[in-house]
A and B are shown apart, each in its own frame.
Chain A
Amino acid sequence: MSLVLTDPFRFGSPFESLYLSFRPLTDVAKMHVNEYFSGDPQLNATWTASQISGSNSLGIADGLDGGFSITTAVLTNARASINFNNFNQYTHNSSVFIAVAKNTSALTNDETNTGLSSTNDIFTAATGQNVFARFSASVVIRLGSSDGTTFSTDDAITLSGNTYRGIHIETGTANLKLKVNGGLEVTKTTDRPSVALQPIFHVRASAAVASRGQIHYLEVFNL
């Protein structure tokens, strides 16, 4: 696991190890990663930055709760992502993805996508299999997915994606579930991925105007 101790000052609790604070030793931990996106002007060795279309700006944002920021080029369908360089270690049907992210673009159809993907891009069915939460300047957050043949999104609540929201996606054998700020909003049964996936944070411009997304926490683990 790529974990860090979160609060040694809580000790006095019965747990002497981080492992044991989550599970007994009889429960063998599966793959698990978390990332705070704090402090580094560059990405650490875990992440790969992908310029998919256009010359986009990627880096840690200087500002309160800044996190990692992608600002696209001024180009229709400009897009970039950070990902695990196609090391696809998380299951399509038994994993959890958690993130705190937002989209700060002005255009309704601009997209900030974060979730799990088989490739470094989230755009059409041709760009791979995936499951993701989609933030935009419109007043809904969506749960999207692709099985490699068909790409679709289901709307979640009427809740703006342009302030930080807590996202929780659970992949199961029968469906994909999206919680926003703790409330179950979407249960999606169509167009689900069927291959191993990697974490991804991805921003796309819908027109020749820069689009921006930010993320300051991400966590993924297999169940």
Chain B
Amino acid sequence: MTAKSIYEHLFPLTTVMRHRFADNWSGEFRHFRWTTRNTQGSWNTGMSGGVGVGWRHLQVTALINDRSGQDFANIRTYAHDNSVVLVVFRRVTADTGVAGGLSDSTDHFEGATANYAAASDDTTRSFKDVRTKDGTTGSITDSNVALGTVDTSYKLQLITADTKLTINGTLKVTKTNNLPTSVMQPAWRVISTTAATGSDGNIKYIEVYNT
């Protein structure tokens, strides 16, 4: 300890820090830096009063692939090949997928021509996964971590050769195919995986920085 500046807490002054941000989703009803989108269906979105819940998206309609999330309104400042994402989110309900990471699309991790890299807990899979898309082809690589409905920390490290997924502090996946190729924005979303209502997910922390 103790540099008195946050900057020097992270880097010496001889290192010119690259772009970064962190968000705690605590206290504000509307978060100024995020754009909230109900891409399909009707959703209730906002800060939750529950202990430790953070920002919540709750499905109202009842179609498969109803989805709702947040992004930076296509202000894309984070690198596809030199960046890190740290995110804590929770899938609350069955028949639901929650994912967080980087995307160049306002449809987040679904867009037909999107570039993205995301950590995901999705009940159409058997394990937590990392999913990427290169603007044309998308693919998913599973970890060996079982799906779950508790808060989980995910770290995505994007470099030229691969995207690494670390779950709760342990490296689980190194994915080398269909990596994103363009500059991206932070994004996260909740998706319904069946034609039922009530898909529910929340996020309480995200941090992104270029390396």
Chain A min CB distance to B125 (Å): 24
- Whether A179 sits at the interface, judged by CB under 8 Å, is yes
Give the size category of B's interface with A.
35 or more
Given contacts A5-B22, A38-B20, A65-B18, contact A44 B7 (CB under 8 A): no
A41, A44, A96: the one within 8 Å of B4 (CB):
A96
B7, B13, B74, B210: the one within 8 Å of A181 (CB):
B13
With the chains together, A51 CA to B21 CA distance in Å? 27
- Whether B185 sits at the interface, judged by CB under 8 Å, is yes
Residue ID in chain B nearest A59 by CB atoms: B75
Contact flags A163-191 to B (C-beta < 8 A → 1, else 0): 01110100000000001011100000000
B16, B76, B207: the one within 8 Å of A6 (CB):
B207
A22 touches B2 (CB 8 A): yes
A60, A63, A100, A221: the one within 8 Å of B16 (CB):
A100
B:79-106 near A, CB below 8 Å: 79, 86, 88
Chain A min CB distance to B74 (Å): 6
- Whether B195 sits at the interface, judged by CB under 8 Å, is no
B6 touches A34 (CB 8 A): yes
With the chains together, A39 CA to B19 CA distance in Å? 11
Contact flags A9-40 to B (C-beta < 8 A → 1, else 0): 10000010000011100000000001010111
B79 touches A64 (CB 8 A): yes
With the chains together, A86 CA to B78 CA distance in Å? 32
- Whether B29 sits at the interface, judged by CB under 8 Å, is no
A39, A63, A96: the one within 8 Å of B186 (CB):
A39
B77 touches A40 (CB 8 A): no
**Nearest 5 CB-CB pairings of A with B:** A182-B14, A182-B13, A39-B33, A38-B21, A36-B21
Chain A residues with CB under 8 Å of chain B are 3-9, 15, 21-23, 34, 36, 38-42, 44-45, 60-67, 96, 98, 100, 164-166, 168, 179, 181-183, 216-217, 219, 221, 223
Given contacts A38-B33, A166-B17, A182-B12, 13 further A-B contacts (CB under 8 A): A5-B24, A8-B205, A21-B1, A22-B3, A38-B72, A39-B34, A63-B77, A65-B77, A96-B5, A98-B13, A100-B16, A165-B16, A182-B15
